[in-house]
Chains A and B, each alone.
Chain A
Amino acid sequence: MAYPTATLDVVGLWVGWFLMLMIYSYPLYKENPAYRTAEHMFIGVTLAITAITNFSNVMRLCITPLMQGNILMIVPLILGLLIFTMLIPEYRWVSRYPIAVMVGAGFGLGIRGTIKPNLQDAIIDTITAPSGGGILDWFNYLWVAVGLVCSIMYFLLTFEHAGPLKGPTRLGRLFLMLALGGYFGNTVLFRFTMLTGRAQFFLQVLKLIPM
Chain B
Amino acid sequence: MSLSKLANIDRRVFYWILFIALMVPFLSPIGFPITIAPNTQDLYDGITGDQVNEGDVWIMNFGYGVSAWSECHPAVTVCTKALFREGAKIIFIGIHYDVELTYNKLQDTCSEDFADKVYGEDYVFLGYMTGGESVVAQLGSDIASVFPQDHFGTPYGDIPMLEGVEDHTDIAGVLSSDTGDYGTHFMTQWQAAYGTKMAEIGIAMNGSTDLPRWQAGNFFGVSVGSRGGAELEALIGELGEATTAMDSISVSHLLLILAIILGNIGVLTEKLGGKK
Secondary structure of the B contact surface, majority rule: helix
Contact code string A31-60 (vs B, CB < 8 Å = 1, else 0): 000000000000000000110011001001
A92 at the interface (CB under 8 A from B): no
Known contacts A124-B216, A125-B212; is A193 also within 8 Å of B71 by CB? yes
Known contacts A109-B137, A197-B70; is A121 also within 8 Å of B16 by CB? no
- B218 / chain A contacts, CB cutoff of 8 Å: 117, 121
- A122 / chain B contacts, CB cutoff of 8 Å: 212-213, 216
Q: How many Å from the CB of A133 to the closest CB on chain B?
A: 12
Cα(A57)–Cα(B218), bound, Å: 31
Cα(A29)–Cα(B192), bound, Å: 49
Known contacts A61-B148, A125-B216, A200-B248; is A49 also within 8 Å of B97 by CB? yes
User: Closest residue of chain A to B190, judged by CB?
Assistant: A113
A110 at the interface (CB under 8 A from B): yes
Contact of B70 among A28, A50, A113, A194 (CB under 8 A): A194
Q: Are A194 and B12 in contact (CB under 8 A)?
A: no
Contact code string B212-231 (vs A, CB < 8 Å = 1, else 0): 11011110000001100000
Query: Among B22, B68, B215, which residue has the most Cβ atoms of chain A within 10 A?
Result: B22
- A183 / chain B contacts, CB cutoff of 8 Å: 205, 208
Q: Are A203 and B130 in contact (CB under 8 A)?
A: no
Q: Are B212 and A193 in contact (CB under 8 A)?
A: no
Q: Are B245 and A196 in contact (CB under 8 A)?
A: yes
Q: Are A106 and B133 in contact (CB under 8 A)?
A: yes
- A207 / chain B contacts, CB cutoff of 8 Å: none
Contact of B109 among A1, A208, A209 (CB under 8 A): A1
Known contacts A28-B19, A65-B148, A122-B216; is A196 also within 8 Å of B128 by CB? no
User: Closest residue of chain B to A122, judged by CB?
Assistant: B216
Q: Are A116 and B128 in contact (CB under 8 A)?
A: no
- B133 / chain A contacts, CB cutoff of 8 Å: 106, 109-110
Cα(A202)–Cα(B68), bound, Å: 16
Cα(A208)–Cα(B12), bound, Å: 25
Residues 155-211 (chain A) with a chain B CB within 8 angstroms: 179, 182-183, 186-190, 192-197, 199-200, 202-203, 208-209
Give chain A's interface residue range (CB within 8 Å of chain B).
35 or more
Known contacts A24-B19, A117-B213, A186-B204; is A60 also within 8 Å of B70 by CB? no
- B128 / chain A contacts, CB cutoff of 8 Å: 53, 57
Give the number of residues in B that approach A within 8 Å (Cβ atoms). 58
- A50 / chain B contacts, CB cutoff of 8 Å: 97
B69 at the interface (CB under 8 A from A): yes
Contact code string B233-260 (vs A, CB < 8 Å = 1, else 0): 0000000010011001100110010000
Q: How many Å from the CB of A106 to the closest CB on chain B?
A: 6
Known contacts A65-B148, A105-B134, A196-B249; is A121 also within 8 Å of B217 by CB? yes
Known contacts A124-B216, A203-B27; is A193 also within 8 Å of B249 by CB? yes
B176 at the interface (CB under 8 A from A): no
Q: How many Å from the CB of B127 to the closest CB on chain A?
A: 9
Cα(A129)–Cα(B256), bound, Å: 37
Known contacts A117-B191, A117-B218, A183-B208; is A190 also within 8 Å of B27 by CB? no
- A53 / chain B contacts, CB cutoff of 8 Å: 97, 128
- B204 / chain A contacts, CB cutoff of 8 Å: 186-187, 189-190, 193
User: Closest residue of chain A to B137, judged by CB?
Assistant: A109
B26 at the interface (CB under 8 A from A): yes
Q: Are A186 and B207 in contact (CB under 8 A)?
A: yes
Cα(A39)–Cα(B264), bound, Å: 34
Q: Are B252 and A195 in contact (CB under 8 A)?
A: yes
Known contacts A117-B216, A209-B27; is A197 also within 8 Å of B189 by CB? no
A-B contact pairs, 9 of them (CB 8 A): A57-B129, A61-B146, A113-B187, A121-B213, A183-B208, A193-B225, A194-B71, A196-B245, A197-B245
The 9 closest A-B pairs by CB, nearest first: A113-B188, A197-B70, A125-B216, A199-B22, A189-B204, A53-B97, A121-B216, A190-B205, A1-B108
**A residues apposed to B, CB below 8 Å:** 1, 24, 27-29, 49-50, 53-54, 57, 60-61, 64-65, 105-106, 109-110, 112-114, 116-118, 121-122, 124-125, 179, 182-183, 186-190, 192-197, 199-200, 202-203, 208-209
A112-B193, A200-B245 given. 15 additional CB < 8 A pairs? Answer: A28-B15, A28-B16, A49-B97, A49-B98, A57-B128, A60-B148, A113-B137, A122-B212, A122-B213, A189-B253, A190-B204, A193-B204, A196-B22, A196-B252, A199-B248
